[in-house]
């Protein structure tokens, strides 16, 4: 399946080096954001909130916080990774190299997903400074993190190929993904909402993703774990289908 392993490694290393140049910012940003969220939601507001189910509010928001940051980071890193060569023109080299589309995808998405998982882990570690979080299903939780990172990086990859300007690169993450995640139960259980809102929220696909991730922590979520897994599978399949079509037609890659 992979014929040009060295090529995959070259792009993967190139992308990781790009992240490495901004290593301290990349590291510091999630730590600071997490701290701010805990100060605001955990201490200021959280102290006045009852526990959600039997989970203390501070611990309850950890999975949502991890997902929120991982979604946005995955999309921005993966979209930027493929958009940059298009913008600078260096894409000519990828297209003229003996790399299969699948290999290009693995290299770019693999590197972006690696960074997302690292950031997720940093947030997880930082959260421990503020609250006591127990993870009911550690292996499933790790698997879910990787799966989410890969899926959203695929989504970001599609945006990076579609985008023809830096503005377009930003528009979907900021106007679609961020609000959907914020309203998708990152910081609350949808059970807390009035019935009408709850019904509406169920149309938000992100609800199922966050719920599933929360399930791996506390053994329960807004919807069943099976439903969550189904939603993840559908999203992943959709992204793969679009990417398959992009590579078949050369959409916005080749003339």
Nearer to other proteins, 20 or 226 (CB): 20
Question: Which chain residues interact with other proteins by CB under 8 A?
Answer: 3-7, 9-11, 13-14, 17, 21, 88-90, 92-100, 250, 254-255
Whole-number minimum distance, CB 244 to other proteins, in Å?
17
Whole-number minimum distance, CB 95 to other proteins, in Å?
5
Dig out the tokens for 90 from the structure.
């260096």
Nearer to other proteins, 90 or 134 (CB): 90
Whole-number minimum distance, CB 91 to other proteins, in Å?
8
Whole-number minimum distance, CB 102 to other proteins, in Å?
12
| Interatomic CA distance for residues 142 and 67, integer angstroms | 12
- DSSP summary character for residue 192: G
**Does an H or E element contain 188, and which?**
none
- Cβ–Cβ contacts within 10 Å for residue 40, how many? 12
Distance of CA 62 to the CA centre of its chain: 15
Dig out the tokens for 184 from the structure.
């998708």
Dig out the tokens for 82 from the structure.
């493929």
Nearer to other proteins, 25 or 50 (CB): 25
Nearer to other proteins, 102 or 193 (CB): 102
Whole-number minimum distance, CB 7 to other proteins, in Å?
5
**Are residues 133 and 55 in contact, defined by beta-carbon separation less than 8 angstroms?**
no
Nearer to other proteins, 48 or 254 (CB): 254
> Could you give the 3-state DSSP secondary structure of residue 184?
coil
Nearer to other proteins, 25 or 255 (CB): 255
| Interatomic CA distance for residues 17 and 166, integer angstroms | 22
Whole-number minimum distance, CB 173 to other proteins, in Å?
23
Phi/psi class of residue 89: alpha, beta or left (left: φ > 0; alpha: ψ in -120 to 50)?
Answer: left
């Amino acid at each position: 399946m992979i014929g040009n392993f060295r090529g995959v490694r070259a792009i993967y290393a190139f992308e990781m080096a790009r992240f490495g140049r901004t290593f301290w910012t990349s590291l510091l940003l999630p730590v600071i954001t997490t701290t701010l969220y805990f100060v605001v939601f955990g201490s200021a507001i959280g102290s006045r909130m009852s526990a959600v189910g039997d989970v203390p509010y501070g611990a309850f928001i950890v999975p949502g916080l991890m997902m929120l940051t991982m979604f946005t980071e995955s999309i921005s890193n993966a979209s930027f990774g493929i958009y940059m060569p298009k913008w600078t023109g260096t894409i000519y080299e990828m297209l003229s190299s003996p790399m299969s589309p699948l290999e290009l995808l693995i290299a770019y998405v693999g590197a972006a997903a690696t960074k997302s998982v690292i950031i997720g882990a940093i947030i997880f570690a930082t959260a421990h400074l503020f609250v006591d979080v127990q993870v009911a299903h550690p292996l499933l939780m790790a698997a879910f993190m990787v799966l989410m990172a890969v899926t959203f990086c695929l989504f970001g990859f599609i945006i990076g190929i579609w985008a023809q300007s830096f503005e377009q690169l930003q528009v979907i993450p900021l106007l679609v993904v961020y609000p959907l995640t914020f309203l998708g139960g990152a910081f609350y259980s949808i059970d807390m909402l009035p019935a009408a809102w709850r019904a509406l929220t169920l149309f938000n696909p992100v609800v199922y993703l966050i719920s599933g991730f929360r399930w791996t922590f506390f053994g329960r979520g807004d919807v069943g774990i099976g439903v969550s897994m189904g939603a993840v599978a559908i999203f992943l399949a959709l992204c793969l289908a679009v990417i398959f079509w992009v590579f078949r037609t050369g959409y916005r890659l080749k003339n």
